[in-house]
């Protein structure tokens, strides 16, 4: 009788291992078919983070997304202040911190004198968009970190080419034009991506693909995933 139960347990254990292996192989196949890249608009992200009072950790964001897709690279677009600008040292220090996680794409910050004041202009939407067009053939999914409506035409182009595109940004600066397509709010995944904060021991695994392939354009499904993952995390803690 003891041998019977031992053999039964062995068979069950073997079935679990086979099932697990199949799931891993399926996950690898999905990731292989979903090559993605992240394009970050610093100008948009900087002011959004300043408004909400907390920052995004690019390493954490990449780790979350790589539960579902293969991130080929992260491009970070920024307009560099002049050396005489008080913001120069702070910007340089920040770029040193993220240079291991992302390809830094820079351009000079433009200074415009108007009515006795100095206006800074550092739009990088053109540079970012051109790089998306250049890299599009190698990718299946384009991830834009910005809520700027200037990217509406880029979204249209990417979709016309049969590729997927999704925007990540904050509720406070996500343009209504961007909300007409696929998007995800950092507010909903804050505890997973906030800089200098402890991260739960789990990830929202259906964050990206379920959003990209669902028919609805709103974020209701992403919110449901958040609630489901919250329960899973609480069990693990």
Per-residue pLDDT tens digits for 151-189:
999 999 999 999 999 999 999 999 999 999 999 999 999
**Residue 150 is assigned to a structural domain of this protein:** yes
In a domain, 12, yes or no: no
Q: Structure pTM? A: 0.79
**pLDDT-above-90 percentage for the chain:** 63
pLDDT on residue 117 = 84
- Establish if 187 belongs to a structural domain: yes
Tens digit of pLDDT for each residue in 201-215? Answer: 777 767 788 788 776
Residue 140 lies in a domain: yes
What secondary structure, in 3-state letters, does the chain show? CHHHHHHHHHHHHHHHHHHHHHHHHHHHHHHHHCEEEEEEEHHHHHHHHHHHCCCECHHHHHHHHCCCCEEEEEEEEEEECCCCCCCHHHHHHHHHHHCCCCEEEEEECEEEEECCEEEEECCCHHHHHHHHHHHHHHCCEEEEECCCHHHHHHHHHHHHCCCEEEEEECHHHCCCCHHHCCEEEHHHHHHHHECCCCCCCCCCCCCCHHHHHCCCCCCHHHHHHHHHHHHHHHHHC
Q: Is residue 5 part of a domain?
A: no
| CATH code assigned at 157 | 3.40.50.1010
pLDDT of residue 231: 47
Domain assignment present for residue 106? The answer is yes
Which residues constitute the domain of residue 47?
33-236
Structural domains counted in the chain: 1
Mean pLDDT of the chain, nearest integer: 83
**Mean local confidence (pLDDT), 54-73:** 94
Say if 8 falls within a structural domain. Answer: no
């Amino acid at each position: 009788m003891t041998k019977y139960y031992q053999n039964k347990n062995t068979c069950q254990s073997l079935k679990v291992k086979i099932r697990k292996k199949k799931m891993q192989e399926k996950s690898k196949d999905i990731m292989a078919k979903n090559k993605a890249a992240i394009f970050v608009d610093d100008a948009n992200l900087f002011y959004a983070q300043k408004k909400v009072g907390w920052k995004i950790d690019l390493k954490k964001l990449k780790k979350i997304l790589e539960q579902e897709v293969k991130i080929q690279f992260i491009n970070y677009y920024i307009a560099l202040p002049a050396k005489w600008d008080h913001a120069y040292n702070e910007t340089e220090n920040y770029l040193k911190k993220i240079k291991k996680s992302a390809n830094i794409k820079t351009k000079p910050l433009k200074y415009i004198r108007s009515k006795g004041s100095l206006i800074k202009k550092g739009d990088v939407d053109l540079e970012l968009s051109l790089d998306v067009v250049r890299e599009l053939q190698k990718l299946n999914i384009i991830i834009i970190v910005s809520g700027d409506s200037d990217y509406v035409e880029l979204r249209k182009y990417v979709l016309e080419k049969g590729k997927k595109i999704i925007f990540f940004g904050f509720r406070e600066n996500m343009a209504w034009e961007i909300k007409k397509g696929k998007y995800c709010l950092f507010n909903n995944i804050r505890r997973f991506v906030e800089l200098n904060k402890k991260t739960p021991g789990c990830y929202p695994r259906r964050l990206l693909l379920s959003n990209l392939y669902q028919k609805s354009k709103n974020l209701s499904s992403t919110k449901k995933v958040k609630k489901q993952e919250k329960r899973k995390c609480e069990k693990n803690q």
